[in-house]
Structure 1
Amino acid sequence: MAGRFETLPDGGAAVALDEVEISILRSLAVQLMELIGPGDEPAEDADPLAALFAEGPSEPPADPALHRLFPDAYADDTDELRQATAEFRRFTENDLRTRKRDDAHAMVRSLDLAAGDTAGEGGGILKLSPDESRAWLGALNDLRLTIGTRLEVTDDEESEQLYRLPDDDERKPMVMAYLWLGTLQESLVETLMP
């Protein structure tokens, strides 16, 4: 099971992680939550009905990683489609930010529980419910998209070149995380498929 998810009888998933892996995953998930940020959310004391219909930003994020996480709805660059893209973003981005933050937060919570359960043991088996597994899948995907954007990976050929980086390349730790997250994501997808 080391490094690969396996199916649990309840439809969830389990994976063996050591203390270092738990720490790395937790750190990456916290950084993802910080990157995503709160977005344009209504004030806490706002009317709940008004909050439900709150509008988000209409402009795409300037940060390339955030733009990858919150892409434009339409690729064509006509006035009509630019307006439709802005409208789509305005009505969907806040909810998407919330879901992505919730997924990363679910990852942090389960890792904190695993770290507490295995304190002093060097790691252990992380067991996720079906809902937690889906949240993890979303968080792993978002982490890979973010790191891939930072590494400027745009196609499979560039991804293959990452395997051949020399050990002294400053991108190597980020590349190793990117590849490891891909392995985790792939095994979790396989686990969740019926």
Structure 2
Amino acid sequence: MRTWKRKGRGASTRICSHLDVHEAELLASMVTSMRELLGERESTAPRDELSDVTGIPTGHTAAPTDATLGRLLPDFHRPDQDRELTADVVNGDVNGALRSVHEPYIIDAKMAAAQVVLDTLPQGGGDLALTEEQAAEWLTALNDVRLALGAMLGISEDTPDQLPPDHPHAAHLDVYHWLTVMQELLVESLV
């Protein structure tokens, strides 16, 4: 991947780059996998009569047990954020209610951003020319894919920049760094 460049002005502004074949295929695979993971979560959300009558979707009240989904759909409030609320109240009532109301919309937004990437990704690699709105959706999807991969790899402050070449996660860590650089360069092109 080359850097992102801003071209044009006003409504004709495009954020441009180029992806090699393997980069486009890898990105498509990761974004598709993330969409499938979010789709599974969405499909297992409870349904109720009020939702059926109003058309307002409801989501899960419990946080995902899977580390990857947990990173993509974290709790809205943590006990350490507010000393006045007890952990029981925050973990049960507050987070469950917020999650039930907002999770369907968060999943929809993440799925839509991922779809923009898939729709604009050049098949077999090639040049990209995104509108600013599409580039913002790319940022969302790149961040989500990077977070998902980081959760799967257990990335932390203690994770080294490189792993030994024979380490089973060495290539995955390289992909994580590539996503980080791609995201950073895209942010810089949008400011």
Question: Which TM-score tier does this pair reach, normalised by the shorter chain?
Answer: 0.7 to 0.9
Match of 1:55 in 2: 58
**TM-score of the superposition, structure 1-length normalised?**
0.83
Residues 112-151 of structure 1: pairs in structure 2 closer than 5 A: 114-115=122-123, 123-151=125-153
For 1:101 and 1:71, the matched residues in 2 are separated by 16
Residues 173-184 of structure 1: pairs in structure 2 closer than 5 A: 173-184=171-182
For 1:31 and 1:141, the matched residues in 2 are separated by 14
Q: CA deviation at 1:12?
A: 3.3
Q: Is the 8 A contact 1:4 1:183 kept in 2?
A: no
Match of 1:189 in 2: 187
Residue correspondences, number = 176
Of residues 178-187 and 81-90 in structure 1, the stretch that sits farther from structure 2 once superposed is 81-90
For 1:6 and 1:69, the matched residues in 2 are separated by 29
Match of 2:88 in 1: 79
Match of 2:166 in 1: 168
* RMSD of Structure 2 on Structure 1 (CA): 2.0
Cα-to-partner distance string for 1:19-70 (whole Å, 9 max, x where unaligned):
111111111111111111151387xxx96x722x222110001111101111
For 1:180 and 1:109, the matched residues in 2 are separated by 21
Q: Is the 8 A contact 2:63 2:74 kept in 1?
A: yes
SS at match of 1:72: coil
Q: Percent identity?
A: 28
Q: CA deviation at 1:137?
A: 0.3
Structure 2, unaligned runs of 5 or more: 80-85
Structure 1, unaligned runs of 5 or more: none
- State whether structure 2 residue 98 is matched by structure 1 residue 99: no
Q: CA deviation at 1:17?
A: 0.9
For 1:54 and 1:27, the matched residues in 2 are separated by 28
For 2:132 and 2:71, the matched residues in 1 are separated by 27
